[in-house]
Structure 1
Amino acid sequence: MNKFSKKLLSNRIWYNFVIVKFLKIKYVLKDNNYNSEYNSYNQGNWIQPYQDDSLAAYQSYNQKSSFTPVTLSWVINARAPEKLGKIDKLRDRIFGPPEDDPQDYKLILNNVTGVIQPGSLCAIMGASGAGKTTLLNILNFRDKSNLIIESDIRVNGRPVNLKKISQYSGYVKQNDIFIGTMTVKEWLTFQAFLRMGHSYSKEEKYDRVDEVIRQCNLIKAEDSYIGLGDTLKGISGGEKRRLAFATEIITNPPLLFCDEPTSGLDAYMAIGLVEVMAEQARLGKTIVCTIHQPSTQIYENFNVLCLLSEGQIAYLGPRSQAPSYFSNIGYNCPSNYNPADYFISILSIPSAYREEAVIGSQRICENFKQSSYQANILESLNMLHTNYYLENGDYDDETSGYNSSYFEQFKWLLWRNFINDIRTPVSSKILLIQVLFIGLFFGLIYLDLELDEKGVQNTTGLLFVTMMNVGFIFLFPILNVFIGEMPVFYRDQRDRLYSPLIYYLSKQVAELPKYLLMSFILITIIYWMANIRNDAGVYFSITFTFILMIQCSMSFAYLISVSTGNIEISTALAGPILIPLILFAGYFLNNDSTRAYFIWIKYLSWFYYTFEILMIELWTSYDFIPCSNPFNNVTTPGGTVLCKNARCFANGDAVLDQYAVKKVRFAMVEYRITYFADYFNESFGLFFPKIKAS
């Protein structure tokens, strides 16, 4: 290894090491700041609505249950900065943002306090813009959306942060996120083996999967594909929503958050899902969900109601007592009228008479602050914060890594990747057609090349155009597949299912056999049809070089897909980025002709190193290259006949000199390791800010 390549290798490895470490530190610091921000507001004077007498019936069951029942309590203030103009944004970039000015912020949640007991199925309701989703997201530490948050969120009286509450809770998102090629049972089995800890045996995990399938009424669909829209027919929307719920209860968490669980479902499916949730609440779990205008039958399945208006609590207490409470303050719900619709109608703020509606809403909220329900909340908060309880044991203060070993993660991720690839054969078939077409097309064009002065140009051109096509055809399929799985990846990272590194390695290993086979087919067809060189050693060396180049192209695909997170943007950017890398690879522009201020592009291009290696492997051992016609007669337009020496090469070294390729043996190993590690580290390093943003 020469001095330059040693320096290049050491500098690049050190650079990527520093970048990855910096991103890791940045991720940890942001996470800690985020958690401290969430727990900095109140010092302990707060939380809990009136508890329905029927909830006491669950206490005896809870003492026998396998989980610790939890009481969720909170006090929250949240505000959002007003939209800034372009001049203000430029000012903030140059001089930094000014000190906080209350007038520059919009109040989203205003001193929202509450408590939810075990056995509760709580519905957070309100008109659009009331703060329902914001409250739910803050309670489970997700998507703060640039809000300035002051909060004290506790479980059983103990302050929690993102890591701690993840031990207690599950979160069912409004949008269903699955790997559609898996069956319902396969999906839950994958979740069980990565979510459930080492204390459970293999048989117990399988039994838990069967139990959850029964609890969520998914028995008929357990062997059906989840589905990929029109591409692969799968289970219904209601079954998908129940599957999302089943995914979160696979570990039997005592606390569940659900964001609009019935949205997009018909009445029958929505009732079925809410009944499943109610059954889980009857087991002693605490379930909090946002819901928009439920039907009467759905509404009556909830036993706790939380009404929001303009970021304030309008009511928080037993659902059965809400009509009488509102009747006492002058709002009588008509008979045979859905109470949910009535409450939302009196709390909504129509734009036509906004001022009057805001005054009425403020009056309702002020009445609640003076009510016995609010007094019970404050009394319960004081009790919880001074004497927090844990009935059936305790949870660790910090998570101790993942629930499964790295080997277990790798095994199940590899299994999932293989299943997904086998059941979506369209991309593999298209890739095979491309490979066969390009191989046969190039093979016929360059059929039986002769090694003379023309053959030098033809063979070199064939190697380069093959390199270009290999780089392109193996890059774009990864962009589509990898970005398509990003929502699943980010969700799994929030749930700490597996390590990002293990996921990345499993994707590489799962994709490798397919791309190895395809590259082997392509190179074999072209190499022997064109009769590049009747030497098995050169054939395997060139094939291996192309395989390593494909690895670099795959890493580049991961890098650009993680950077953008969007298929259209990644596809649009890939071409313009690759063109300069190909231009400076040494074929279109001689290496000795590269201007000094562009030389850095050459060293960033894996095409440059690949072309250099291919040229060295092909031409190094050629001691003699025949010249078919050393003199060509050229007739000028004036009729003068000139004698011109043809461009002949004495041997392979002369060809390398012509293309300014330095004859360095083992360049393949040193450069390939450097650049494969480079793009690997860069694409893996970009996972950290993306995980935080998710």
Structure 2
Amino acid sequence: MDNQEVSMDAEAQIENTDDDRSLPFSVFKKANIPVTLKFENIVYTVKLKEQKGWFGQTKVKSEERTILKGLTGIVKPGEILAMLGPSGSGKTSLLTALGGRVGDGKGKLTGKITYNNKPLSRAVKRTTGFVTQDDALYPQLTVKDTLVYTALLRLPNSFTRQDKIKQAEAVVTELGLDRCKDTIIGGPFVRGVSGGERKRVSIGQEILINPSLLFLDEPTSGLDSTTAQKIVSVLWELARGGRTVITTIHQPSSRLFYMFDKILLLSEGNPIYFGLGSTAMDYFASVGYSPSVERINPSDFLLDIANGVGSDESQRPEAMKEALAAAYNTNLLENVINEVKGQHDICNQPIENPGRETNHFGEWPTTWWQQFTVLLERGLKQRRHDSFSTLKIFQIIFVSLLCGLLWWQTSISRLQDQIGLLFFVSSFWAFFPLFQQIFTFPEERKMLEKERSSGVYRLSPYFMSRVVGDLPMELILPSVFLFLTYLMAGLKYKLGNFFLTLLVLLVHVLVSGGLGLALGALVMDQKSATTLGSVIMLTFLLAGGYYVRHVPVFISWIKYVSIGYYTYKLLILGQYTENESYPCGENGKLKCHVGDFEGIKHIGFNGGLVSAFALAAMLVGYRVVAYIALMRIGKTKCG
């Protein structure tokens, strides 16, 4: 098919979608500020890492690998640049660098990247959309919910809340998502929307802000040709509104190939072609590389030569790659440099827009409180099925009833059994919240990186929304557990004793959950964090004062950092007094003081306030550690 004919067909298809634009917020309107992106002599090197240790630590080697090797180019408003190349050629690295997402510690980036002749700034980030390859979305939210919450967070306060919702609804309609707007996104174990619909939702999240720059990493990966055509048609229409669109793509069909304005072909980090897609085949023919068959998908041919596979089978792949890189430097590089240096018309326009639809609202698009409330609402809706799932409720009620039956109506005459129950309660509610919370941040890492890199919200409202949003599950389930167990086991039927025991248990649950948050945020690997959490909690358990009463001096310090030790002590103080009597001796004919009981004597009845303060310090301290550990997630040069 003739190249020009394909382009005209695609343009006609886009024109046909412009007939009905009666919606108040059209996502295909013109960009607020056109942005010309230039990159000059981009070199990116990383230090090689190897996995070491038990808990996922990495050791950095001294040797470096150069991922990008001196790339130069320009993309103007209204153009789509497609970056092609084999896996490992540096496409995603370049896209990440151009999008300003190469943060500290990820490698060394040199060269010059400018946006309208200005360096990366927060204003640029506010007007930039970035669609990742893996579609980081919450599985339990519907399509409409996903876009509405994104609009509430990313659109500035110059929009009313109702206007933000209308903007999200317009995106749903114009991206053809009306049919599935009330369907959940889904995930690996939850059925939801299709792959193409997921990708359109991801694109919709970014175009909500009417971006001037739009970056996409493999937007057609894993999609059939028809769905891929729809995605690229959306990108074409967005570009026609004056946006600058840059995308990586692995192996587009011939029809998609001719819809891209410019092509950048990479081979092992080297550029071997940069220019119009319609002239790529003619260029390679001019330097001695023509396809062996007459009809071939241009992208297939370009990927073959980028891999060093040509019609001349006698030529070694490495020699062919070197020849192509040399041909680029000889025939194309000077023209590319001249185009970059000669672009002065729109490049000096500042990226600011004081009008109603600005994306730059102070330092953040919304206030701290707005971010907190939206994130809290979104988090509760996302986790409502998991927090109070049937399985969890069954687990808690079953264990509580089992405890009640095993310890049925134990009286103070069975003091050893009672303190055994108290220790089991503290042990069970040490592990349960730990393993509930330890997965929190590892599971949300991709979403947090994505939204933090885009400057959607501060870290503090996100963290607080997680802490507050988890409180219902952390407080209600242990309360139900204790109520059932307490009544059946025959512990002291006094409101004061019950509520003191409940208070101690709830604080204990919050502290154990805080430890889980801290470990998850520090390690950011579910398997390693689980192993580490098990080791730490078992250590605390053994030092809790129930199993070992005469601990050697050189290791006795462990009890002073043990959550279980302080909780066990406070649970005993909540049930007994030192001079309280219990039956002892043969057949229980004697009366002894609880304070002299062998299982309680070494715990003692002193230091209740110290134990309370220790738990309070842990309650705050573990969460501070988790917050500090999260500060490294999503950090880039511009915040």
| TM-score normalised by structure 1 residue count | 0.79
State the match for 1:75 in structure 2: 40
- Counterpart check, 1:504 vs 2:463: yes
Give the 3 Å change call, closer, same or farther, for CA 358–448 of structure 1 in structure 2: closer
State the match for 2:262 in structure 1: 304
Deviation at 1:490, TM superposition (A): 2.2
> Helix, strand or coil: the match of 1:475?
helix
Give the 3 Å change call, closer, same or farther, for CA 320–658 of structure 1 in structure 2: same
State the match for 1:677 in structure 2: 620
Query: Which amino acid letter does the alignment assign opposite residue 406 of structure 2?
Result: I
- Counterpart check, 1:612 vs 2:558: no
Mapping 1:270-669, distance limit 5 Å: 270-332=228-290, 335-350=294-309, 356-371=316-331, 374-384=333-343, 388-390=347-349, 393=352, 400-424=362-386, 428-452=389-413, 455-590=414-549, 593-620=550-577, 623-627=579-583, 630-631=585-586, 649-652=592-595, 658-667=601-610, 669=612
Contact 1:77 1:108 in 2 (8 A): no
CA distance in 1, matches of 2:404, 2:535: 28
> Helix, strand or coil: the match of 2:275?
strand
> Helix, strand or coil: the match of 2:341?
helix
Contact 2:410 2:491 in 1 (8 A): yes
Identity level (%): 25
Deviation at 1:114, TM superposition (A): 0.4
- Counterpart check, 1:268 vs 2:226: yes
Query: Which amino acid letter does the alignment assign opposite residue 329 of structure 2?
Result: K
Size of the aligned set, in residue pairs, is 603
Deviation at 1:397, TM superposition (A): 13
Contact 1:157 1:384 in 2 (8 A): no
Deviation at 1:263, TM superposition (A): 0.9
CA distance in 1, matches of 2:435, 2:529: 9
> Helix, strand or coil: the match of 1:587?
coil
- Counterpart check, 1:241 vs 2:199: yes
Contact 2:352 2:360 in 1 (8 A): no
CA distance in 2, matches of 1:487, 1:457: 49
State the match for 1:253 in structure 2: 211
Query: Which amino acid letter does the alignment assign opposite residue 685 of structure 1?
Result: I
Compare 244-253 and 653-662 and name the one that shifted more: 653-662
Contact 1:649 1:655 in 2 (8 A): no
State the match for 1:17 in structure 2: none
Contact 2:123 2:351 in 1 (8 A): no
Give the 3 Å change call, closer, same or farther, for CA 313–399 of structure 1 in structure 2: farther
- Counterpart check, 1:688 vs 2:631: yes
Deviation at 1:655, TM superposition (A): 7.2
Contact 2:123 2:352 in 1 (8 A): no
State the match for 1:160 in structure 2: 120
CA distance in 2, matches of 1:186, 1:85: 40
Q: Deviations over 1:357-409 (max 9, x none)?
A: 444444443343344x5444323433458994117846999995432222112
Q: Deviations over 1:50-85 (max 9, x none)?
A: xx9x99xx9xx9xx9451010100013435468699
Deviation at 1:279, TM superposition (A): 0.8
> Helix, strand or coil: the match of 1:588?
coil
CA distance in 2, matches of 1:311, 1:623: 79
State the match for 1:12 in structure 2: none
Contact 1:613 1:667 in 2 (8 A): no
> Helix, strand or coil: the match of 1:293?
coil
State the match for 1:32 in structure 2: none
Contact 2:126 2:359 in 1 (8 A): no
Mapping 1:10-89, distance limit 5 Å: 65-78=30-43, 80=45
Contact 2:156 2:359 in 1 (8 A): no
Query: Which amino acid letter does the alignment assign opposite residue 269 of structure 1?
Result: T
Contact 2:521 2:630 in 1 (8 A): yes
Give the 3 Å change call, closer, same or farther, for CA 397–432 of structure 1 in structure 2: closer
Q: Deviations over 1:294-351 (max 9, x none)?
A: 1111112111111223433222222223333334334445653322222222332259
5+ unaligned residues in a row in structure 1: which ranges?
1-51, 87-92, 99-103, 633-644
Deviation at 1:657, TM superposition (A): 6.3
Compare 340-349 and 673-682 and name the one that shifted more: 340-349
> Helix, strand or coil: the match of 2:574?
helix
> Helix, strand or coil: the match of 2:492?
coil
> Helix, strand or coil: the match of 2:180?
coil
Give the 3 Å change call, closer, same or farther, for CA 65–149 of structure 1 in structure 2: same
Deviation at 1:441, TM superposition (A): 1.4
Contact 2:595 2:605 in 1 (8 A): no
Q: Deviations over 1:248-297 (max 9, x none)?
A: 11101111111111110111111111111111111111111111121111
State the match for 2:111 in structure 1: 151
Query: Which amino acid letter does the alignment assign opposite residue 210 of structure 2?
Result: N
Contact 1:616 1:663 in 2 (8 A): no
Query: Which amino acid letter does the alignment assign opposite residue 111 of structure 2?
Result: S
Q: Deviations over 1:503-526 (max 9, x none)?
A: 222222222122322111111112
State the match for 2:182 in structure 1: 223
State the match for 2:151 in structure 1: 192
Deviation at 1:547, TM superposition (A): 0.5
Contact 1:656 1:662 in 2 (8 A): no
Query: Which amino acid letter does the alignment assign opposite residue 521 of structure 2?
Result: V
> Helix, strand or coil: the match of 1:261?
coil
CA distance in 2, matches of 1:655, 1:624: 14
Q: Deviations over 1:171-215 (max 9, x none)?
A: 111111111110001000110111111111112211211221233
Q: Deviations over 1:459-505 (max 9, x none)?
A: 11111111111222233233345532222122222122223222222
> Helix, strand or coil: the match of 2:510?
helix
Contact 1:123 1:290 in 2 (8 A): yes
Give the 3 Å change call, closer, same or farther, for CA 691–85 of structure 1 in structure 2: closer
Give the 3 Å change call, closer, same or farther, for CA 217–97 of structure 1 in structure 2: closer
- Say what the alpha-carbon RMSD is for the aligned residues: 3.5
Query: Which amino acid letter does the alignment assign opposite residue 282 of structure 1?
Result: R
Contact 1:261 1:291 in 2 (8 A): yes
Deviation at 1:412, TM superposition (A): 1.3
CA distance in 2, matches of 1:505, 1:647: 55
State the match for 1:206 in structure 2: 165
Deviation at 1:97, TM superposition (A): 8.8
State the match for 2:22 in structure 1: none
